[in-house]
Amino acid sequence: NAGVTQTPKFRILKIGQSMTLQCTQDMNHNYMYWYRQDPGMGLKLIYYSVGAGITDKGEVPNGYNVSRSTTEDFPLRLELAAPSQTSVYFCASRRLDEQFFGPGTRLTVL
Amino acid sequence: DQQVKQNSPSLSVQEGRISILNCDYTNSMFDYFLWYKKYPAEGPTFLISISSIKDKNEDGRFTVFLNKSAKHLSLHIVPSQPGDSAVYFCAATLSNDYKLSFGAGTTVTVRA
Protein backbone atom coordinates (compact mmCIF):
# COMPACT_ATOMS: atom_id res chain seq x y z
CA ASN A 1 0.00 0.00 0.00
CA ALA A 2 1.96 3.02 -1.29
CA GLY A 3 -0.63 5.66 -0.27
CA VAL A 4 -0.40 8.81 -2.39
CA THR A 5 2.48 9.03 -4.84
CA GLN A 6 3.56 12.06 -6.87
CA THR A 7 5.92 12.41 -9.81
CA PRO A 8 8.24 14.08 -10.51
CA LYS A 9 9.84 15.11 -7.20
CA PHE A 10 11.55 18.12 -8.75
CA ARG A 11 11.20 19.99 -12.04
CA ILE A 12 12.55 23.17 -13.57
CA LEU A 13 10.46 24.71 -16.35
CA LYS A 14 11.07 27.64 -18.63
CA ILE A 15 8.43 30.36 -18.90
CA GLY A 16 5.73 29.30 -21.36
CA GLN A 17 6.42 25.57 -21.15
CA SER A 18 3.74 23.14 -20.04
CA MET A 19 3.83 20.03 -17.90
CA THR A 20 1.67 17.54 -16.03
CA LEU A 21 2.17 16.72 -12.37
CA GLN A 22 1.14 13.14 -11.72
CA CYS A 23 -0.73 11.94 -8.63
CA THR A 24 -1.85 8.39 -7.89
CA GLN A 25 -3.47 6.87 -4.82
CA ASP A 26 -4.08 3.19 -4.12
CA MET A 27 -6.54 3.57 -1.24
CA ASN A 28 -9.66 3.72 -3.42
CA HIS A 29 -10.57 7.17 -2.08
CA ASN A 30 -13.16 9.15 -4.01
CA TYR A 31 -12.00 12.58 -2.88
CA MET A 32 -8.71 13.97 -4.16
CA TYR A 33 -7.11 17.41 -3.89
CA TRP A 34 -4.29 19.52 -5.29
CA TYR A 35 -2.63 22.15 -3.11
CA ARG A 36 0.28 24.50 -3.58
CA GLN A 37 2.53 25.80 -0.84
CA ASP A 38 4.49 28.99 -1.31
CA PRO A 39 7.38 29.89 1.05
CA GLY A 40 6.12 31.06 4.46
CA MET A 41 2.52 30.36 3.50
CA GLY A 42 -0.01 27.69 4.19
CA LEU A 43 -1.27 25.24 1.60
CA LYS A 44 -3.82 26.64 -0.82
CA LEU A 45 -6.37 24.51 -2.65
CA ILE A 46 -6.04 24.55 -6.45
CA TYR A 47 -8.58 21.93 -7.58
CA TYR A 48 -10.40 19.02 -6.09
CA SER A 49 -12.39 16.00 -7.24
CA VAL A 50 -15.21 14.11 -5.55
CA GLY A 51 -14.93 11.12 -7.84
CA ALA A 52 -14.02 9.97 -11.33
CA GLY A 53 -15.29 12.43 -13.90
CA ILE A 54 -16.08 15.18 -11.37
CA THR A 55 -13.74 18.07 -10.64
CA ASP A 56 -14.14 21.58 -9.26
CA LYS A 57 -12.09 24.70 -8.64
CA GLY A 58 -10.51 25.55 -5.34
CA GLU A 59 -9.12 28.84 -4.11
CA VAL A 60 -6.35 29.37 -6.70
CA PRO A 61 -7.25 27.54 -9.95
CA ASN A 62 -5.99 30.06 -12.54
CA GLY A 63 -3.27 28.67 -14.79
CA TYR A 64 -4.08 25.03 -13.98
CA ASN A 65 -6.29 22.27 -15.28
CA VAL A 66 -7.19 18.85 -13.93
CA SER A 67 -8.87 15.67 -15.07
CA ARG A 68 -10.09 12.59 -13.22
CA SER A 69 -10.69 9.67 -15.54
CA THR A 70 -10.07 7.00 -12.87
CA THR A 71 -10.41 6.78 -9.11
CA GLU A 72 -6.65 6.31 -8.75
CA ASP A 73 -5.25 9.19 -10.82
CA PHE A 74 -5.64 12.95 -10.53
CA PRO A 75 -3.11 14.75 -12.77
CA LEU A 76 -2.56 18.51 -12.60
CA ARG A 77 -1.75 20.28 -15.85
CA LEU A 78 0.15 23.56 -16.10
CA GLU A 79 -0.22 25.37 -19.41
CA LEU A 80 2.08 28.31 -20.21
CA ALA A 81 4.13 28.13 -17.02
CA ALA A 82 4.79 31.45 -15.25
CA PRO A 83 7.26 32.38 -12.47
CA SER A 84 4.28 32.83 -10.12
CA GLN A 85 3.71 29.08 -10.36
CA THR A 86 7.03 28.35 -8.67
CA SER A 87 5.88 26.42 -5.61
CA VAL A 88 5.67 23.04 -3.94
CA TYR A 89 2.63 21.08 -5.08
CA PHE A 90 0.91 18.52 -2.88
CA CYS A 91 -1.71 16.01 -3.89
CA ALA A 92 -3.99 14.46 -1.29
CA SER A 93 -6.80 11.95 -1.04
CA ARG A 94 -9.43 11.78 1.67
CA ARG A 95 -11.15 9.08 3.65
CA LEU A 96 -13.81 10.33 6.08
CA ASP A 97 -12.28 13.38 7.80
CA GLU A 98 -8.60 12.64 7.16
CA GLN A 99 -6.59 13.79 4.14
CA PHE A 100 -3.51 11.79 3.15
CA PHE A 101 -0.81 13.77 1.39
CA GLY A 102 1.80 12.80 -1.14
CA PRO A 103 5.46 13.86 -0.72
CA GLY A 104 5.12 16.84 -3.03
CA THR A 105 6.59 18.12 -6.30
CA ARG A 106 8.95 21.11 -6.13
CA LEU A 107 8.49 23.17 -9.29
CA THR A 108 10.63 26.11 -10.35
CA VAL A 109 9.70 28.28 -13.33
CA LEU A 110 12.53 30.39 -14.73
CA ASP B 1 -7.79 36.66 2.55
CA GLN B 2 -6.16 34.47 5.20
CA GLN B 3 -8.98 32.76 7.10
CA VAL B 4 -6.64 30.75 9.32
CA LYS B 5 -3.70 32.42 11.01
CA GLN B 6 -0.76 31.09 12.92
CA ASN B 7 0.98 34.19 14.23
CA SER B 8 4.07 32.48 15.62
CA PRO B 9 6.33 31.32 12.78
CA SER B 10 8.62 29.46 15.14
CA LEU B 11 8.82 27.97 18.61
CA SER B 12 11.83 26.57 20.47
CA VAL B 13 11.25 24.35 23.49
CA GLN B 14 13.39 22.18 25.70
CA GLU B 15 12.92 18.42 25.57
CA GLY B 16 10.43 17.28 28.19
CA ARG B 17 8.67 20.64 28.43
CA ILE B 18 5.30 21.64 27.00
CA SER B 19 4.92 23.04 23.48
CA ILE B 20 1.90 25.27 22.90
CA LEU B 21 0.97 26.21 19.35
CA ASN B 22 -1.75 28.74 18.64
CA CYS B 23 -4.14 29.25 15.75
CA ASP B 24 -6.87 31.82 15.06
CA TYR B 25 -9.60 31.72 12.43
CA THR B 26 -11.96 34.32 11.07
CA ASN B 27 -14.73 32.29 9.43
CA SER B 28 -17.35 31.49 12.07
CA MET B 29 -18.84 28.85 9.77
CA PHE B 30 -15.83 26.55 10.21
CA ASP B 31 -16.90 23.56 12.29
CA TYR B 32 -13.98 21.17 12.04
CA PHE B 33 -10.34 21.82 12.84
CA LEU B 34 -7.22 19.81 12.26
CA TRP B 35 -3.52 19.88 13.00
CA TYR B 36 -0.98 18.50 10.54
CA LYS B 37 2.70 17.85 11.08
CA LYS B 38 5.25 18.17 8.30
CA TYR B 39 8.86 17.06 8.08
CA PRO B 40 11.17 18.46 5.36
CA ALA B 41 10.73 16.90 1.91
CA GLU B 42 7.59 15.07 3.03
CA GLY B 43 3.89 15.75 2.76
CA PRO B 44 1.87 16.84 5.79
CA THR B 45 0.56 14.05 8.01
CA PHE B 46 -2.59 14.22 10.09
CA LEU B 47 -2.00 14.69 13.79
CA ILE B 48 -5.25 15.43 15.63
CA SER B 49 -8.62 17.04 14.99
CA ILE B 50 -11.55 18.53 16.86
CA SER B 51 -15.17 19.16 16.02
CA SER B 52 -16.85 22.41 16.99
CA ILE B 53 -19.18 20.50 19.32
CA LYS B 54 -16.21 19.80 21.59
CA ASP B 55 -13.77 22.08 23.37
CA LYS B 56 -11.01 19.54 23.91
CA ASN B 57 -9.63 16.44 22.24
CA GLU B 58 -6.74 14.40 23.51
CA ASP B 59 -4.58 11.77 21.82
CA GLY B 60 -1.58 10.61 23.79
CA ARG B 61 0.86 13.51 24.18
CA PHE B 62 -1.24 15.77 21.95
CA THR B 63 -4.24 17.81 23.08
CA VAL B 64 -6.18 20.32 21.03
CA PHE B 65 -8.31 22.98 22.71
CA LEU B 66 -11.01 24.94 20.92
CA ASN B 67 -12.45 28.28 22.06
CA LYS B 68 -15.28 29.03 19.63
CA SER B 69 -16.19 32.40 21.09
CA ALA B 70 -12.61 33.59 20.58
CA LYS B 71 -12.23 31.73 17.28
CA HIS B 72 -9.04 30.27 18.66
CA LEU B 73 -7.53 26.83 18.98
CA SER B 74 -4.31 25.58 20.43
CA LEU B 75 -2.24 22.42 20.29
CA HIS B 76 -0.40 21.23 23.40
CA ILE B 77 2.40 18.71 23.17
CA VAL B 78 3.44 17.22 26.49
CA PRO B 79 6.19 16.21 26.95
CA SER B 80 7.98 17.51 23.89
CA GLN B 81 10.41 15.08 22.24
CA PRO B 82 13.16 15.63 19.65
CA GLY B 83 11.07 13.81 17.04
CA ASP B 84 8.42 16.50 17.43
CA SER B 85 10.70 18.97 15.66
CA ALA B 86 8.69 19.76 12.51
CA VAL B 87 6.37 22.32 10.96
CA TYR B 88 2.84 22.23 12.37
CA PHE B 89 -0.08 23.45 10.30
CA CYS B 90 -3.48 24.37 11.65
CA ALA B 91 -6.38 23.81 9.24
CA ALA B 92 -10.09 24.52 9.33
CA THR B 93 -13.02 23.42 7.21
CA LEU B 94 -16.73 23.00 6.91
CA SER B 95 -17.50 19.39 7.72
CA ASN B 96 -19.82 19.11 4.72
CA ASP B 97 -17.13 19.86 2.14
CA TYR B 98 -13.71 19.26 3.75
CA LYS B 99 -11.93 21.88 1.66
CA LEU B 100 -9.18 22.75 4.09
CA SER B 101 -7.98 26.28 4.79
CA PHE B 102 -4.47 26.20 6.20
CA GLY B 103 -2.47 28.51 8.39
CA ALA B 104 1.10 29.40 7.44
CA GLY B 105 2.60 26.94 9.90
CA THR B 106 4.74 27.05 13.04
CA THR B 107 8.21 25.52 13.03
CA VAL B 108 8.84 23.72 16.31
CA THR B 109 12.38 22.95 17.41
CA VAL B 110 12.83 20.71 20.44
CA ARG B 111 16.21 21.23 22.11
CA ALA B 112 17.93 18.36 23.92
Please classify residue A69 by burial: count the beta carbons closer than 10 Å to its beta carbon, then call 0-12 exposed, 13-18 middle and 19+ buried: exposed
* Architecture of the domain defined by A16-101: Sandwich (2.60)
Residue A75, classed as helix, strand or coil, is coil
Question: Which among B34, B44, B101 has CB closest to A101?
Answer: B44
Number of structural domains (chain B) is 1
Q: Report the residue of B102, B106, B107 to disrupt the A interface, i.e. the one with the largest count of A CBs within 10 Å.
A: B102
Q: Which residue of A has its CA nearest to B41?
A: A103
Closest approach of chain A CAs to the CA of B45, in angstroms? 7
Residue A47 burial class via C-beta count within 10 angstroms: exposed 0-12, middle 13-18, buried 19 and up: buried
Question: What is chain B's pLDDT, residue by residue, as a tens digit (112 residues)?
Answer: 789 999 999 999 999 999 999 999 999 999 999 999 999 989 999 999 999 999 999 999 999 999 999 999 999 999 999 999 999 999 999 988 778 999 999 999 999 9
Render B14-75 in DSSP notation, one character per residue: ETTS-EEEEEEE--TT--EEEEEEE-TTS--EEEEEEETT-SEEEETTEEEEEETTTTEEEE
**Chain A nearest C-alpha distance from B91 (Å):** 9
Model confidence at A8, pLDDT cuts 50, 70, 90, reads very high
Average pLDDT over chain A, rounded to an integer: 95
Q: B99: domain CATH number?
A: 2.60.40.10
Write out the H or E segment, with its range, that includes residue B93.
strand B86-93
pLDDT at residue A36 in the model: 97
Cβ <8 Å between A103 and B45: no
Q: Rounded to the nearest 5 degrees, what angle is found at the Cα of B4, between the Cα atoms of A108 and B10? A: 70
With CB atoms and an 8 Å threshold, state whether B43 touches A103: yes
Please state, in angstroms and rounded to a whole number, the distance separating the CA atoms of residues B110 and B49. Answer: 22
pLDDT of A2 = 81
The range of the structural domain enclosing residue B57 comes to 4-111
